[in-house]
């Protein structure tokens, strides 16, 4: 398409992106929470939004199916970032990636260099690199949701997951024992689009940069 396509995921990223879009003079014509439409128009005829699953945002932008996208750094690390520019930290949708275990589990002992630990996670790459840097052998169990359940039912010793308030962990008798990294969302840009459609994309990127809150 000759205009701009922006890939966004529903929920927190969409809500916290609205002020940035507004700074670029873009207002969506539908609310993805209410509409079932996956392609949402805006007040600007040359700008459309596509609503994708958060972990798919980098793929859409890499394929050029969207020119711009907003993706959490967790998702970008898992994706690898090939074919993408990620020029801006938008400082939205902030949270941490943590190791969490059942209360009372001796994590310090279980994670000594040379020991072996079973970890359930959606973030296999982040978990693999984290435990490798500590010199801990890790057996990874890839799960797609409800990670908190795994240590409770004995599926794993620990989980690696996003933590924002810690309420879900507390409700399930788990505790965060180690921070791996902090996460916020980034603007990602298709490399070819930035070259070929720079006149169109640059004002949006600049408007986002100007509207990022410290």
Partner 1 sequence: MRWVLPEYFQDVLPPEADKLEHLRRKLLDAFRLHGYQLVVPPLVEYLDSLLTGAGQDLRLRTFKLVDQLSGRTLGVRADMTPQVARIDAHLLNRQGVSRLCYCGAVAHTLPATLTASREPIQIGAELYGHAGIEADIEIIRLLAEVLRIAEVPTSRIDLGHVGLFRALVGRAAMDDDAVRDLFGLLQAKDVPTLTERLAPLDATVRSALLALPKLYGDASVLIEARRVLPDWPEVVTALDELDRIAAALPGLPISVDLADLRGYHYHSGVVFAAYGGHSPSALALGGRYDAVGKAFGRGRPATGFSLDLRELVQRLPAPDLPGAILAPASGPDGLNEAVRALRARGEIVVETLPGHEGSWGETGCDRQMVWHDEQWLVVSLEGEGAAHG
Which residue of 62, 111, 121, 156 would you call a contact of partner 1, by CB under 8 A? Answer: 62
Work out whether 132 is an interface residue with partner 1 (CB under 8 A): no
- Which is nearer to partner 1, 135 or 139 (by Cβ)? 135
Which residue of 86, 115, 124, 172 would you call a contact of partner 1, by CB under 8 A? Answer: 86
| Least distance from partner 1 to the Cβ atom of residue 50, Å | 15
The site map against partner 1 for 137-176 (x = CB under 8 A) is ----------------------------------------
CA 98 – CA 210 distance, rounded (Å): 31
CA 210 – CA 33 distance, rounded (Å): 27
CA 198 – CA 192 distance, rounded (Å): 9
Work out whether 23 is an interface residue with partner 1 (CB under 8 A): no
| Least distance from partner 1 to the Cβ atom of residue 113, Å | 21
The two three-digit tokens of residue 200, written as one number: 């169109």
Work out whether 194 is an interface residue with partner 1 (CB under 8 A): yes
Work out whether 195 is an interface residue with partner 1 (CB under 8 A): yes
Which residue of 44, 56, 83, 124 would you call a contact of partner 1, by CB under 8 A? Answer: 83
Other beta carbons within 10 angstroms of residue 49's beta carbon come to 26
CB 191 within 8 A of CB 68: no
Strands (E), 32-184: 39-41, 47-51, 68-72, 84-89, 95-102, 116-121, 137-142, 158-163, 174-183
Work out whether 17 is an interface residue with partner 1 (CB under 8 A): no
CA 172 – CA 211 distance, rounded (Å): 38
Instruction: Specify the residue for token string 């924002």.
Output: 164
Interface positions with partner 1 (CB under 8 A): 59, 62-64, 81-89, 186, 189-196, 198, 202
């Amino acid at each position: 398409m000759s205009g701009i396509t922006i890939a966004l995921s529903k929920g927190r990223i969409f809500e916290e992106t609205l002020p940035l879009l507004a700074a670029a003079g873009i207002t969506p014509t539908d609310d993805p929470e209410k509409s079932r439409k996956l392609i949402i128009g805006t007040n600007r005829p040359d700008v459309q939004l596509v609503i994708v699953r958060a972990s798919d945002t980098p793929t859409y932008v890499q394929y050029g199916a969207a020119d711009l996208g907003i993706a959490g750094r967790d998702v970008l690390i898992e994706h690898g970032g090939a074919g993408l520019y990620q020029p801006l930290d938008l400082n939205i949708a902030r949270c941490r990636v943590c190791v969490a275990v059942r209360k009372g589990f001796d994590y310090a002992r279980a994670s000594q260099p040379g020991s072996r630990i079973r970890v359930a996670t959606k973030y296999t790459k982040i978990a693999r690199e984290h435990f490798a840097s500590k010199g801990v052998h890790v057996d990874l169990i890839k799960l797609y949701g409800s990670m908190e359940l795994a240590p409770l039912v004995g599926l794993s010793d620990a989980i690696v997951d996003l933590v924002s308030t810690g309420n879900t962990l507390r409700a399930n008798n788990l505790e965060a024992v180690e921070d791996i990294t902090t996460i916020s969302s980034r603007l990602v840009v298709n490399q070819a689009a930035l070259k070929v459609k720079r006149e169109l994309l640059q004002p949006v990127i600049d408007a986002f940069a100007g509207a990022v809150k410290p």
